[in-house]
């Protein structure tokens, strides 16, 4: 018992010291492959990260790939590195694992500790193989990601696996050590997400970022993961645009990350043409993702200061003498604000009716469509790597394989759910068409994400 407690406190200490390093932002031309298990496979965090780059760096084209496979442990990730990760010709690879590696056993006390240590040892043995393989590609940047946590503290009814998260933190410690000795990047999801869980559970004991099964982050939590990653990249505080006008001096005092032309500035009327170099970050309000009840991406705004740190499009006007003034953009009424509100500054990025936000919404929805098609391909690869490969049928898409999967699906819910997609995707022509559709959508994304000029008018309200 004493040894168990000592190990527990040791790794709590280590987890507290897993401070995320600052990592470089992605560069134009980067091909970023996010490698992981089901949290990556069915998750949105990589898509939400890409949406930030699409809206905030519209002229810096990158491409992000989902290389998650549900149920994977480190050994399985190692076995598919060449065929599923490096085959995508990445310039950047991320790697997260640990949830499945630590198992789902319900043992207690010393027996549980022994089982965890055996599983961790096996996982880290495979991680050594991964490390050696990654070192064979010195031109590719590597980013180790400490896994999102297992939530053992929420008072939900779902069965609770004792000390699982502490075991996962041991895996994260080794990831960070590998990053340090190889001069790779490291960012941690686990500790900060558990901090949020514990904070929010003070007001609601059933709160969790990990969904109904304590494992899979819902869409709001996936947004938290994207926020943590972008913070690690040092991107917090970079404004979409910042405009400051002074009606007293009739001058433009600030035009950061934007161009202001044709200004007319008076105490009760102002107009100008505005061309920003970025778009607002739009938030999806439609519930989705793992777990029931599902949550929307926008729910994350209740628990993280994303708008304050990453989504600032500020309009400030000082010296106005009318009590209330109407803001129009391209002739469309956006809102009526007091002179004091204009003087403090209005964050246009949180106003969903502006033309620039509406443009960003189109980018978001098109990016979601790309994600959806990519998920079909990931379902195909999930069946191959998780189900068919152990049977010696990797990339065998014969009629006999279909028959075998139909039989297997009668006793495996996940196979049954994935089979309809597989029946289409087993034809190379279909997979190629889906990939062409993805490529077309990416090309379109980098057309529609370019900011356009807008005419602003601020007039006194009688």
Q: Which domains does the chain have, with CATH numbers?
A: 2-232 (3.40.50.1110)
Q: Quick one: which of 358, 438, 412, 349 has its CA closest to 71?
A: 412
Per-residue confidence band for 11, with pLDDT thresholds at 50, 70 and 90? very low
User: Between 164-182 and 109-135, two packed helices, what is the crossing angle to 10 degrees?
Assistant: 30
Cα–Cα nearest to 317, from 307, 308, 327, 309:
327
Q: Is 0.85 topped by the overall pTM?
A: yes
Task: List, for residues 181-196, the tens digit of each pLDDT value.
Answer: 999 999 999 999 999 9
For residue 10, give every residue at least 6 positions away whose Cβ sits within 8 Å of its Cβ, in sequence order, or none.
none
Average per-residue pLDDT for the chain:
93
Angle, helices 355-382 vs 45-56, to 10°: value is: 150
**pLDDT given at position 386:** 95
DSSP 234: T
pLDDT above 70 as % of the chain: 95
**How confident is the model at residue 21, as a pLDDT?**
56
Residue 282: partners with Cβ closer than 8 Å, 6 or more residues away? 51, 55, 352, 357, 360, 361, 363, 364
What pLDDT score does 378 carry?
97
- ∠ Cα 56 210 173 (to 5°): 80
Contacts of 443 (CB under 8 A, 6+ apart): none
Percent of residues, the chain, with pLDDT higher than 90: 89
**Residue-level pLDDT at 74:** 98
Residue 34: strand, helix, or coil: strand
- Helices 399-409 and 413-425 meet at what angle, rounded to 10? 160
309, pLDDT greater than 60 = yes
| The pLDDT value given to residue 294 | 77
């Amino acid at each position: 018992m004493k040894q168990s407690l000592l190990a527990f406190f040791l790794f709590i200490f280590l987890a507290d010291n897993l401070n995320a390093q600052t990592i470089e932002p992605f560069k134009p031309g980067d091909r970023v492959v996010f490698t992981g298990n089901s949290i990556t496979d069915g998750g949105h965090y990589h898509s939400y990260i890409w949406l930030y780059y699409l809206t905030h760096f519209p002229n810096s084209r990158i491409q992000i790939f989902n290389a998650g496979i549900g149920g994977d442990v480190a050994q399985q990730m190692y076995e598919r590195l060449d065929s599923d990760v490096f085959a995508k010709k990445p310039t950047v690879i991320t790697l997260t694992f640990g949830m499945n590696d630590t198992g789902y056993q319900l043992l207690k006390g010393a027996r549980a500790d022994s089982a965890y240590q055996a599983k961790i040892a096996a996982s880290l043995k495979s991680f050594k193989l991964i490390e050696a393989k990654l070192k064979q590609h010195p031109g590719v940047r590597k980013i180790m990601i400490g896994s999102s946590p297992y939530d053992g503290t929420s008072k939900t009814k779902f069965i609770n696996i004792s000390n699982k998260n502490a075991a996962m933190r041991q895996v994260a410690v080794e990831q960070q050590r590998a990053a340090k000795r190889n001069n790779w990047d490291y960012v941690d999801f686990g500790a900060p997400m558990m901090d949020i869980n514990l904070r929010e559970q003070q007001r609601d004991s059933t709160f969790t970022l990990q969904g109904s099964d304590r494992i899979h982050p819902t869409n709001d939590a996936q947004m938290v993961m994207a926020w943590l990653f972008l913070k690690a990249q040092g991107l917090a505080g970079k404004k979409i645009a910042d405009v400051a006008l002074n009606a007293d001096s009739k001058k433009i005092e600030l035009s950061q990350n934007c161009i202001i032309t044709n200004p007319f500035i008076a105490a009760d009327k102002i107009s100008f043409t505005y061309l920003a170099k970025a778009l607002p970050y739009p938030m999806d309000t439609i519930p989705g993702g793992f777990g029931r009840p599902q949550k929307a991406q926008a729910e994350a705004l209740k628990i993280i200061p994303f708008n304050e740190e990453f989504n600032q499009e500020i309009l400030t006007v000082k010296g106005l003498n009318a009590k209330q003034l109407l803001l129009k953009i391209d002739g469309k009424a956006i809102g009526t604000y007091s002179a004091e509100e204009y003087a403090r500054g209005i964050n246009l990025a949180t106003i969903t009716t502006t033309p620039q936000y509406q443009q960003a919404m189109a980018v978001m929805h098109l990016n979601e469509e790309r994600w959806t098609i990519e998920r079909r391909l990931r379902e195909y690869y999930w069946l191959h790597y998780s189900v068919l490969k152990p049977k010696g049928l990797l990339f065998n898409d014969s009629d006999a394989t279909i028959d075998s999967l139909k039989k297997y699906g009668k006793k495996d819910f996940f196979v049954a759910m994935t089979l309809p997609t597989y029946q289409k995707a087993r034809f190379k022509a279909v997979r190629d068409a889906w990939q062409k559709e993805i490529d077309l959508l990416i090309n379109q994304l980098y057309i529609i994400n370019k900011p356009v000029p807008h005419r602003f008018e601020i007039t006194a309200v009688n």
